């Protein structure tokens, strides 16, 4: 519950946490990015429980649907009751205190959503994990965030029990299973009161530790406050997406990925809309589900849109008003294919786990060809040159961002790499135009340097994707004695096309006709599929290392 701001608002309000682990492991203040609250809607009171804010007002609205799943449809009141009962289980029988960390595991479904919300409402810290994570990664995440308890879907039980090195005995003793045959958590909920008074947390108490999907290296835990959760709802969805109570949100990103947590749970709740949570979606089943649920807003990654564009003709997508693409660069060829198939102008948006959600984007007639967009109101962005100073239009440099959210790694030396002079450095090479539009070029460390030329892989990928034989592709720099690096394309062909040296030569010519010839791929390899993370990102390092 939030109290009116009082005269002591300028003094940092006391944490509600009795377990101070999170606060103790925040980076030192001088390593934080600058935080800016430049809009009226970003002025949050010093005490704030974001889940109380999202649920306790809306829950009184008669019968409105909050969450739909394969086997469930919950009104706001029904969702709130479940969240409250789970919060009682956490603080009662499980014996947790405010500030404890709860590891969460489950596919996208209504119970997983209720569990995340309950942990936060109970004053604890949610540590959601992606279903496909394997034993070693899970063990690292559990260790780094020093978890106190686990809520896990019964369907992922075997995997969790195989975690190696095993979870500490106290954590194993405090693990509850939901769904499946046993419905252990559900049975305990039934014995609890239907109302839970939200823990009166400080706006800057940590409520979420989200681990970066990380295409390389050891996972980094990013720490987010109650106020951050509301701030992302009051930025992109409000000014770019313009979501409304009548919206029905659907899509693929896992709730354990902040792209999904925001797009498929927090954003709909913030405006009193409905969220459809479905497991194991494919491009085909997502299209069917949009039709079935009359979804109005879709969140997924570029490769899903590319595949859906080819099948969209078989479905009635008339309900769809907005399609949001994030996670990796949206090739213009994919934007065009989706527009041809559906008549919709996609909303591209760049977000990051460190900043929780999207901070540069554009919608409708604000979309400019090839650009991600402009800073979302509430955020600022610029391009930094090699000397760390902002550069003007037309120069490629490092993308730097600041706004109401920003990077705070859990006990991680890499904090120094992400924050420079108050700016968050996302690791992306971008370029700005004279009108303030931002253009993605590549990841900073993926820029290909061949015979002295800088070549951005995604531009070559976009050219290849326009060839009718190409389903997907990934372009990397391969070490080369003569040129330093050469451009190498890894191409997945459409099912009806067979690979051949002739086709490779055709693809090379095709690229040369569209972009500067020096950028053409000197090497072409045909693959059955591209290596991707669970969040839909191409793992370029695997293309480099697994195909020597
Ligand atoms: C890349 C993009 C070009 C970019 C995310 C929306 O992807 C998300 O978070 P991650 O921490 O990765 C961040 C990095 O992914 N990227 C994301 N979107 C785009 N590149 N165009 C885009 N539209 O390299 C960025 O630095 O996994 C996305 C919302 C929440 C998220 N966490």
Ligand 1 pocket test, pick from 208, 215, 261, 326 with the greatest ligand atom count within 8 Å of Cβ, gives 326
Kindly list the domain boundaries of the chain, sorted by start residue: 232-403+412-445, 447-545
Identical fold, 232-403+412-445 and 447-545: no
Q: What are phi and psi of 429, to 5 degrees?
A: -90, 120
Q: Ligand 1 center to residue 40 CA distance, Å?
A: 27
CA of 368 to the centre of ligand 1 (A): 19
What is the DSSP code (8-state) at residue 370? T
State residue 59's pLDDT score.
57
Atom of ligand 1 nearest to the CA of 214: 27
Which pair of tokens denotes residue 197?
């008074």
Query: Which residue, by CA, sits nearest to atom 6 of ligand 1?
Result: 351
CA–centroid distance, residue 326 to ligand 1 (Å): 6
Q: Is the bond leading into 165 cis (omega within 30 degrees of zero)? A: yes
User: What ligand 1 atom has the least distance to the C-alpha of 352?
Assistant: 9
Which residue's C-alpha comes closest to atom 14 of ligand 1? 352
Distance CA 14, CA 35 (A): 20
Instruction: Say if CB 232 and CB 356 are below 8 A apart.
Output: yes
Closest CA to 103 of 137, 72, 69: 137
Q: How many CA atoms lie within 13 A of 168 on its CB side?
A: 13
Q: Atom of ligand 1 at shortest distance to CA of 399?
A: 26
CA of 532 to the centre of ligand 1 (A): 14
Residue to mutate, 328, 381, 457, ligand 1, most ligand atoms under 8 Å from C-beta: 328
Distance in Å, CA 327 to ligand 1 centroid: 4
Angle at 517 between CA 516 and CA 518, to 5 degrees: 95
Q: Which residues, other chains included, contact 415 with Cβ-Cβ below 8 Å and sequence gap of 6+?
A: 27, 31, 407, 408, 409
For residue 373, the 8-state DSSP code is B
Q: Cα 425–36–49 angle (5° rounding)?
A: 105
C-alpha 540 – ligand 1 centre gap (Å): 15
User: From ligand 1's centre to the CA of 162, what distance in Å?
Assistant: 31
Between the CA of 510 and the centroid of ligand 1 the distance, in Å, is 29
pLDDT given for residue 535 in this prediction: 84
Nearest CA, atom 23, ligand 1: 350
Task: Report which of 507, 450, 516 is spatially closest to residue 478, judged by C-alpha positions.
Answer: 450
Q: What's the rounded Cα separation, in Å, for the pair 184 and 186? A: 5
Angle of the 283-293 helix axis to the 302-311 helix axis, nearest 10: 70
Distance set, CA 439 to CA 121, 240, 329, 332, 348 (Å):
39, 17, 10, 11, 11
Give strand pairing partners of 432: 438
Closest atom, ligand 1, to C-alpha of 325: 23
Whose Cα sits closest to atom 12 in ligand 1?
352
Q: Which residues pair with 390 in a beta bridge?
A: 384
Instruction: Give the model's pLDDT for residue 133.
Output: 85
CATH code linked to domain 447-545: 3.30.300.30
Do 331 and 465 form a contact (C-beta atoms < 8 A)? yes
Interaxial angle between packed helices 332-342 and 302-311, expressed in degrees from 0 to 180 and rounded to the nearest 10: 40
The 3-state secondary structure of 53-93 reads: HHHCCHHHCCCCEEEEECCCEEEHHHHHHHHHHHHHHHHCC
Nearest CA to ligand 1 atom 13: 352
pLDDT tens per residue, the chain (548 residues)?
A: 334 444 444 455 699 999 999 999 999 999 999 999 999 999 999 999 999 999 987 656 678 999 999 999 999 999 999 999 999 999 999 999 999 999 999 999 999 999 999 999 999 999 999 998 888 889 899 999 999 999 999 999 988 998 888 999 999 999 999 999 889 999 999 999 999 999 999 999 999 999 986 655 678 999 999 999 999 999 999 999 999 999 999 999 999 999 999 999 999 999 999 999 999 999 999 999 999 999 999 999 999 999 999 999 889 999 999 999 999 999 999 999 999 999 999 999 999 999 999 999 999 999 999 999 999 999 999 999 999 999 999 999 999 999 999 999 999 999 999 999 999 999 999 999 999 999 999 999 899 999 999 999 999 999 999 999 999 999 999 999 999 999 999 999 999 999 999 999 999 999 999 999 999 999 999 999 999 988 889 999 899 887 66
DSSP codes joined into one string, 484-513: EEEEEEEEEEPTT----HHHHHHHHHHHHH
Q: Which atom of ligand 1 is nearest to the CA of 440?
A: 3
Is the Cβ–Cβ distance between 350 and 403 less than 8 Å?
no
SS3 state at 314: helix
Instruction: Kindly report the protein residue whose alpha carbon is nearest to atom 7 of ligand 1.
Output: 327
Atom 25 (ligand 1) nearest CA: 352
For ligand 1, which residues put their CB under 6 angstroms from it? 212-213, 258-259, 326-330, 348-353, 357-358, 372, 426-428, 440, 443, 535
232-403+412-445 is a CATH 1.20.1250.20 domain:
no
Cα(426) to centroid of ligand 1, in Å?
A: 9
Ligand 1 centre distance from Cα of residue 450 (Å): 26
Q: Which pTM does this prediction carry?
A: 0.95
Distance 95 CA to ligand 1 centre (A): 37
């Amino acid at each position: 519950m939030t109290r009116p701001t009082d005269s002591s608002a300028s003094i940092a309000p006391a944490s509600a946490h009795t377990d101070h682990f999170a606060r103790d492991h925040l980076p030192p203040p001088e390593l934080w990015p600058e935080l800016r609250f430049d809009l009226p809607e970003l002025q949050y009171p010093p005490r704030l429980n974001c889940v109380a804010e999202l649920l306790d007002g809306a829950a009184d609205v008669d019968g409105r649907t909050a969450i739909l799943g394969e086997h469930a449809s919950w009104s706001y009141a029904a969702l709130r009751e479940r969240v409250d009962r789970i919060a009682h289980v956490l603080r009662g029988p499980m014996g947790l205190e405010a500030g404890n960390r709860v590891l969460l595991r489950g596919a996208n479904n209504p119970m997983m959503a209720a569990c995340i919300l309950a942990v936060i409402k109970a004053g604890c810290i949610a540590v959601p994990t992606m279903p496909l994570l394997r034993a070693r990664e899970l063990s690292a995440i559990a260790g780094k965030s020093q978890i106190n308890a686990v809520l896990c879907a019964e369907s992922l039980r075997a995997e969790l029990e195989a975690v190696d090195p095993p979870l500490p005995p106290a954590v194993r003793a405090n693990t509850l299973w939901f769904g499946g045959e046993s419905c252990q958590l559900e049975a305990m909920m039934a014995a609890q009161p239907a109302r839970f008074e939200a823990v009166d947390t400080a706006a800057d108490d940590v409520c979420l530790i989200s681990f970066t999907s990380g295409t390389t290296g050891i996972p980094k835990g990013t720490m987010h406050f109650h106020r951050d959760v509301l701030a992302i709802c009051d930025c992109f969805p409000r000014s770019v997406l313009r979501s409304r109570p009548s919206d029905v949100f659907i899509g693929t990103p896992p709730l354990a990925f902040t792209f999904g947590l925001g797009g498929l749970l927090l954003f709909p709740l913030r405006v009193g809309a409905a969220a459809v949570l479905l497991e194991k979606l494919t491009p085909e089943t997502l299209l069917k589900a949009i039709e079935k649920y009359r979804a109005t807003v879709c969140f997924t990654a570029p490769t899903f849109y590319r595949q859906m564009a080819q099948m969209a003709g078989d479905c009635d997508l008339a309900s769809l008003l907005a399609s949001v693409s994030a996670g990796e660069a949206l090739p213009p060829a994919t934007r065009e294919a989706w527009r041809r198939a559906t008549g919709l102008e996609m909303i591209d948006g760049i977000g990051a786990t460190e900043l929780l959600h999207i901070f540069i984007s554009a919608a409708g007639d604000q979309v400019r060809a090839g650009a991600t967009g402009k800073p979302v109101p509430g955020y600022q962005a610029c391009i930094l040159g090699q000397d760390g100073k902002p550069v003007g239009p037309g120069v490629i440099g490092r993308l730097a961002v600041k706004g109401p959210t920003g990077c705070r790694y859990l006990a991680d030396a890499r904090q120094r790499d992400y924050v420079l002079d108050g700016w968050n450095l996302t690791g992306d090479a971008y370029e700005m135009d004279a009108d303030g539009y931002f253009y993605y070029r590549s990841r900073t460390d993926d820029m290909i340097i061949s015979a002295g030329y800088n070549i951005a892989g995604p531009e070559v990928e976009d050219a290849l994707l326009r060839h009718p034989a190409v389903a997907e592709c990934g372009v990397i720099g391969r070490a080369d004695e003569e040129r330093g690096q050469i451009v190498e394309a890894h191409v997945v062909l459409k099912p009806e096309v067979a690979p051949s040296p002739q086709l490779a030569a055709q693809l090379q010519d095709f690229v040369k006709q569209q972009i500067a010839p020096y950028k053409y791929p000197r090497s072409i390899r045909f693959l059955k599929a591209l290596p991707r993370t669970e969040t839909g990102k191409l793992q370029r390092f695997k293309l480099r290392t697994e195909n020597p």
